[in-house]
């Protein structure tokens, strides 16, 4: 009876904690709305994990047009609700949605194009690395493998073919689904490049998953940011948004804000 009572007590405790957490991984005991986030390093180069909020701002010529506060530690999932807030406040959005690589995701690109009917000028995580000589010359990088469009096959550095096997999908913890095409080599057992191409001592054949929706969005972003007009618009982002945070911290003195 004592053990059952302890289990019941813990279960109620966990249920209460889960109701506070919702879709987060952490919360502060002194401020339940705050989430633990990795802050910038202090003067001793120590990483700071502290409870805080994610402030998002939209600017034009260094004037803050709109802002909102989020509980998400990363910026990726703040973009869509923030754009919805701006649209509801002003009635419309600008033609180009400009943001840095922290906002570049398949879900965000899809929402900006399909739901908001606007053009994203947002880089993605590998945007700069994609263009380096080392990345392009790496023969074991599957992005550089030759594609046989007629037979729907990829050709590896050892000239073995990875044929299409099946469709697949992955759902993230928030319910967004990514669709893939799975390609697989028939036999990698005697391949002399196997240990360089796959994990050491792997007994499986090489598999390749392609998300063509994501590849399409990346090509669209690369095309837009190579055009002079849109390239110039994107280059203005860092001199428009970043100084505003600098002014708030250095001049107005808002280094830390407490909520009680």
Q: Which residues contact 170 (CB under 8 A, 6 or more apart)?
A: 177, 178, 180
Instruction: Give burial (CB, 10 Å; 0-12/13-18/19+) of 200.
Output: exposed
- Going 20 to 25 to 29 to 35, the CA torsion angle's sign is negative
The helix or strand, by DSSP H or E, that contains position 219, with its residue range, turns out to be helix 212-224
CA–CA gap between residue 50 and residue 81 (Å, rounded): 24
What is the 3 state secondary structure string of 97-147?
EEECHHHCCHHHHHHHHHHCCCEEEECCCCCCHHHCHHHHHCCCCHHHCEE
Global pTM reads 0.87
Q: Are 141 and 132 in contact (CB under 8 A)?
A: no
- Eight-class DSSP state of 91: S
- Residue-range domain boundaries for the chain: 2-50, 53-123+225-251, 142-211
Q: Give 192-237 pLDDT, tens digit per residue.
A: 888 888 888 888 899 999 999 999 999 999 999 999 999 999 999 9
**Residues 130-161 pLDDT 10s:** 889 999 999 999 999 999 999 999 999 999 99
């Amino acid at each position: 009876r004592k053990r059952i009572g302890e289990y019941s007590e813990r279960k109620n405790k966990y249920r209460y904690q889960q109701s506070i957490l919702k879709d987060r991984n952490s919360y502060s005991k002194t401020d339940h709305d705050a989430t633990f986030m990795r802050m910038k390093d202090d003067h001793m180069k120590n990483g700071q994990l502290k409870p805080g909020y994610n402030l998002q701002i939209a600017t034009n010529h260094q004037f803050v047009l709109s802002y909102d506060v989020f509980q998400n530690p990363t910026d990726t999932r703040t973009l869509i609700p923030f754009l919805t807030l701006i649209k509801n406040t002003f009635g419309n959005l600008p033609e180009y949605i400009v943001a840095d690589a922290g906002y570049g995701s398949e879900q965000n690109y899809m929402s900006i194009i399909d739901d908001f009917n606007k053009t994203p000028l947002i880089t993605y995580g590998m945007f700069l690395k994609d263009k380096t000589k080392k990345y392009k010359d790496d023969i074991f990088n599957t992005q550089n493998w030759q594609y046989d469009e007629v037979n729907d096959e990829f050709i590896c550095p050892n000239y073995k073919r990875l044929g299409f096997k099946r469709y697949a999908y992955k759902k993230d913890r928030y319910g967004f689904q990514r669709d893939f095409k799975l390609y697989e080599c028939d036999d990698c057992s005697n391949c002399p490049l196997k240990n360089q191409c796959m994990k050491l001592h792997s007994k499986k054949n090489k598999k390749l998953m392609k998300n063509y929706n994501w590849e399409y969005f990346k090509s669209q972003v690369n095309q837009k940011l190579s055009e002079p007009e849109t390239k110039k618009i994107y280059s203005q982002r860092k001199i428009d948004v970043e100084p505003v945070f600098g002014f708030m911290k250095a001049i107005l003195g808002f280094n830390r804000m407490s909520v009680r």
